[in-house]
Chain A
């Protein structure tokens, strides 16, 4: 009888242990699954945040890059302007001094204007300061124009004063053709035609 009781008790104890053991195992699996899920949530959320941060960073850096490029371009433009301004100042002084080199250049500017104008009855608009000199050279200029146009040219000085620092405006007397060869026009043309060269000289030695 005692043996039977002991055996029954053993069987039941084994069954109870098994129930508790299974429950613990199941509980452990649940916790592990939860931890794995939590880790997955953390990973995905972290990746999402990093991706958002990357996009935002790219946008912000692009904005800064554009701003930096704009400032750099503005600086380069401003400095090129400064070179033009200084050149204009020096040209103005040269013209005002009316030295031989300027007078020689003025003649060349008038001749070039004549080459670009197809008429033969011409008038030149010049600064009052240059009138005396050009008056002296008028016949010589006519002669040269006649020579390269291969046709008789008459040239007179316009009564209209040149409103520029120097150079000349040449037009046909019927005013149908006009060629602006003032120093201002030459500077503007130089800027337009030679901006690349101007920049090359101005920024020679710069790494940017």
Chain B
């Protein structure tokens, strides 16, 4: 192998080493970018207020619906009890008077 050839190979080797270094730098950049993106993904999820607010609002809406149904149910019971009592009032008064004069 001639001296010139050896010099050529050494030069080539240096160039390749330079390319390798560039590749390593590129690799680091890729990983750094991924880490940055990872942080963004996690932060976005942790601070996803609108999503959680939607859930809270939805739950509050469900609760309000249940409360309204419960109130309505009691209102209906009160109405029914009142109607029944009015229907039976005369009999009840008779019974009370009978009790008053019961020996």
Contacts and interface: CB of A to CB of B under 8 A. Distances in A.
- Interface of chain B, main secondary structure: helix
Contacts of B59: 49-50, 53, 57
A49 B16 contact: no
Interface string A54-96: 0011001100110111011001100100111011001100100
Contacts of A16: 19-20, 23
Interface in B55-97: 55-56, 59-60, 62-63, 66-67, 70-71, 73-74, 77-78, 80-82, 84-85, 87-89, 91-93, 95-97
Given A8-B13, A19-B20, A208 B80 contact: yes
- Interface of chain A, main secondary structure: helix
Contact of A34 (B5, B13, B38, B88): B38
Report the contact-size class of chain B (Cβ under 8 Å from the partner): 35 or more
A20 B20 CA distance: 10
Interface of A: 1, 4-5, 8-9, 12, 15-16, 19-20, 22-24, 26-28, 30-31, 33-35, 37-39, 41-42, 45-46, 49-50, 53, 56-57, 60-61, 64-65, 67-69, 71-72, 75-76, 79, 82-84, 86-87, 90-91, 94, 105, 108-109, 112, 183, 186-187, 190-191, 193-194, 197-198, 201-208
